[in-house]
Structure 1
Amino acid sequence: MFYNRSLREVLLMVSYDKLWKKLIDLKLKKKDLKDITGIGSTTMSKLTNNEPVSMTVMIKICIALKCNIGDVMDVVL
């Protein structure tokens, strides 16, 4: 976790490794996730690069995969 003094915000580091493992277990590809959830290419890129995405996106993913948020992401401290 980093603190950006000029912006006065906490920058969280996230990992979506659990999401990719879950997709493998479900025999789904990233494109399938994109199609099922309706999330855009930019958001998929953020997920692939372990960048934070909105809570709305995470909820869409959890609903589509029938899981909890902790099943698809971790906050790295």
Structure 2
Amino acid sequence: MGVSYNKLWKLLIDKGISKSDLRKKIELAPNTLTKLNKNEEVALTVLERICKELKVDFGDIIEYIEDNN
């Protein structure tokens, strides 16, 4: 797997922000949101924009999951 954005989704729920609202606030392309939903890699600049909007650090939105293959 590599990365997990489960922390991001939990944080959005805790803050009462929908994925769609976040996407609009930071002008995120729909396909990038799809990548996040599938736990795929996205550009570091995207993660920076998310962190800036939510006022958090990278570790608050993403976690490394070791691939056991």
TM-score, normalising length: structure 1: 0.83
Aligned with 2:36: secondary structure? Answer: helix
Q: Shift in Å at residue 40 of structure 1?
A: 0.4
Are positions 1:49 and 2:21 aligned together? no
Q: Relative contact order (C-alpha < 8 Å, sep 6+): which is higher?
A: 2
Q: Shift in Å at residue 16 of structure 1?
A: 0.2
Q: Deviations over 1:25-59 (max 9, x none)?
A: 00010001101111100100000000010000000
More helix by share: 2
Structure 2 unaligned spans of 5+? none
Say which one has the larger Rg.
1
Question: Identity across aligned pairs (percent)?
Answer: 41
Partner of 1:31: 20
**What count of residue pairs does the alignment treat as equivalent?**
66
Structure 1 unaligned spans of 5+? 1-11
More strand by share: 1
Are positions 1:65 and 2:58 aligned together? no
TM-score, normalising length: structure 2: 0.92
Aligned with 2:64: secondary structure? Answer: strand
Partner of 1:5: none
CA RMSD of aligned residues (A): 0.9
